[in-house]
Amino acid sequence: MELLKGAETAKALTKRARETAQSLPRAPKLVIIRFGEDESDISYETGAKKRMAKCAVDCTSLVYPSDTDPEAFFAEFRKLNGDDSVDGILVLQPLPKTISTERLFSMLDPEKDMDCCTPKNRLRLFEGRKTVYPCTPEAVIRMIEQAGIDLQGKRAAVIGRSMVVGKPLAMMLLEKNATVTVCHSRTKDLPAVCREADILVTAIGRAEMIDGSYVKPGAAVFDVGINMNASGALVGDCRQADMSAASLLTPVPGGVGSVTTSVLALHVAEAAAKKFL
Ligand code: NDP
């Protein structure tokens, strides 16, 4: 079984993003919006800023307290959304309860939407039309391409049906002519369903739940999960030591998660480039 790390894909995407950014009359600009001081949000933001610097993309973050006044926030957001010098806006989720996700993403300019959150871009994705893809599902697709896997006619199973990973990824796999099964917590005999799959994607959020009984011999396994195990170590949804039947597995950490900020950088660079066409 090969461990397919994300470094090579991330490097290639970073190069493309930097070359695009440097070909423009000004640096592309990303604004990250964060509410509160959640550790995983801060860690993602720090990683994203480092990646943007490597890609010659300007990046600033706006941090609001979790109990921020919604009307004051939306007034500021409206200005940011209309600011021509801003090419991309990424809002870290989940939002505080007082900030309506629907209102925010209905307001967000689809051209500045870097993670396929606006109704317009989501509709385009589900219709199979060209749009900005959500960063994590796109990272999976890029790694599948890096592995040289042709999805046409293959059986794919995705465990997880969130709008962040599972559902959009299922649509993207379908677009590439895979035959896709979407699994979730109510799926009956999940191991048997997964054993049908040539490509298995786990986006569950359950530390090391997936063992060899879920894997068809020779299947490629893409582990999106980011979890803490009982001893406090960062692990995926898959039990790496029990994946010998797979042809490849993306590790956690260092797999899919390490590709997402490079995808984000490319989205910002491409959004800026559109303005100078
Ligand atoms: P959600 O909690 O929104 O969704 C989890 C999905 O897994 C649900 O559809 C749920 O089913 C399903 N599920 C939960 N338990 C089981 C089970 N026992 N058997 C089968 N299915 C189950 O999580 P996200 O989609 O936001 O994230 C999934 C994982 O990916 C998390 O670990 C998260 O940290 C990670 N992640 C990683 C990113 C990266 O960059 N690598 C980015 C985003 C997320 P149901 O719908 O029935 O409840």
DSSP string spanning 205-232?
Answer: --TT-B-GGG--TT-EEEE---EE-TTS
Average pLDDT, the chain: 98
Give the residue range(s) of CATH 3.40.50.10860 domains in the chain.
26-111
Nearest CA to ligand 1 atom 39: 257
pLDDT at position 9 over 90: yes
Alpha helices by DSSP H, listed for 55-100, are 70-82
Give the tens place of pLDDT for each residue, 197-233: 999 999 999 999 999 999 999 999 999 999 999 999 9
Give the residue range(s) of CATH 3.40.50.720 domains in the chain.
135-256
Give the tens place of pLDDT for each residue, 70-82: 999 999 999 999 9
Q: What is the distance in A from the centroid of ligand 1 to the CA of 72? A: 33
The CATH fold assigned to 26-111 is Rossmann fold (3.40.50)
pLDDT at residue 277 in the model:
84
Q: What is the distance in A from the centroid of ligand 1 to the CA of 18? A: 32
Residue 144 φ then ψ, to 5°: -60, -40
Give the tens place of pLDDT for each residue, 124-158: 999 999 999 999 999 999 999 999 999 999 999 99
Q: What is the distance in A from the centroid of ligand 1 to the CA of 82? A: 34
Give yes or no for residue 106 CB within 6 A of ligand 1: no
Q: What is the pTM of this model?
A: 0.98
Average pLDDT over residues 87-107: 97
pLDDT at residue 66 in the model:
97
Which CATH superfamily groups domain 135-256? NAD(P)-binding Rossmann-like Domain (3.40.50.720)
pLDDT above 70: percentage of residues in the chain: 100
pLDDT at residue 8 in the model:
98
Distance between CA atoms of residues 41 and 32, nearest Å: 10
Confidence of residue 244 (pLDDT cuts 50, 70, 90): very high
Q: What is the distance in A from the centroid of ligand 1 to the CA of 162? A: 7
Residue 199 φ then ψ, to 5°: -125, 125
